[in-house]
Homo-oligomer: A and B are copies of this chain.
């Protein structure tokens, strides 16, 4: 099991490229901000995450565009060049502004 679910905004999009196998691929930077619970207390999280989408998912992310919000699902893997981690998107659900609002204040009002 290796499953990440992340509500995030598309901060950067590369040009659509093709893998050696001929699949469309898109390099993305996602921006995530939320408040999570850890050890009984709230913790603010703000991060940028290197991300890639391959195949049909790449075209769906491209259609969403820079600034678009979505719930992204996928897995983590090692970066091919370097020591970091990269998020591979395999599914996404676009989010409207109205449905994002509760996420941004979760844990602060309770």
Min CB–CB distance A28 → chain B (angstroms): 15
Q: Which residues of A contact B (CB under 8 A)?
A: 1-7, 23, 32, 34, 36-40, 43, 45-49, 54-57, 71, 75-78, 84-85, 88, 90, 103
A2: chain B residues at CB < 8 Å are 5-7, 32, 34, 36, 45
A6: chain B residues at CB < 8 Å are 1-3, 76
Contact call B77/A47, Cβ cutoff below 8 A: yes
A57: chain B residues at CB < 8 Å are 39
A55-B39 contact, Cβ under 8 Å, with A1-B103, A78-B46: yes
Contact call B85/A38, Cβ cutoff below 8 A: no
A78-B37 contact, Cβ under 8 Å, with A1-B5, A6-B1: no
User: What are 8 pairs between A and B in contact, CB < 8 Å?
Assistant: A1-B71, A2-B7, A2-B34, A38-B90, A40-B55, A45-B75, A47-B76, A49-B76
A37: chain B residues at CB < 8 Å are 90
